[in-house]
Amino acid sequence: MSTNEQREFIPERDHGYGNSPKAFGEPVVVSDGPPQGCPNCGCKKVFQISVAVEAPPQLRVPEGFEAFCVYVGCPACPWASPAINSSRPKTTE
């Protein structure tokens, strides 16, 4: 489906995949990322980030839980690692 032409300009992060689940809510920095830094731009500081996502079809989300993913992201360029999807109890705000 995607062509090289579409890949030349990256309008948003894809969490390491071409069709990642749609993220919503506020991305939260969980911790520092690996010390190797960013493999794309060489930025030395990357972060492990958690964000709520729409549940991907392969993930069963129990009642009262929400899907989220964790990935490593670079603050200086669009690079992001593949995301690990999981679910957690919904927080009520």
The reply on whether position 74 binds Zn ion by CB under 5 A is yes
With CB under 5 A as the contact rule, the residue among 14, 16, 43, 65 that binds Zn ion is: 43
Longest dimension (CA), the chain: 42
Q: Is 38 in the site for Zn ion (CB under 5 A)?
A: yes
Burial label for 65, CB within 10 Å (0-12, 13-18, 19+), is middle
Taking CB under 5 A as the criterion, the residue among 40, 45, 82, 84 binding Zn ion is 40
Residues 11, 92: Cα–Cα separation, whole Å:
32
Residues of the shown chain interacting with Zn ion in the complex, contacts defined by CB under 5 A: 38, 40-41, 43, 74, 76-77, 79
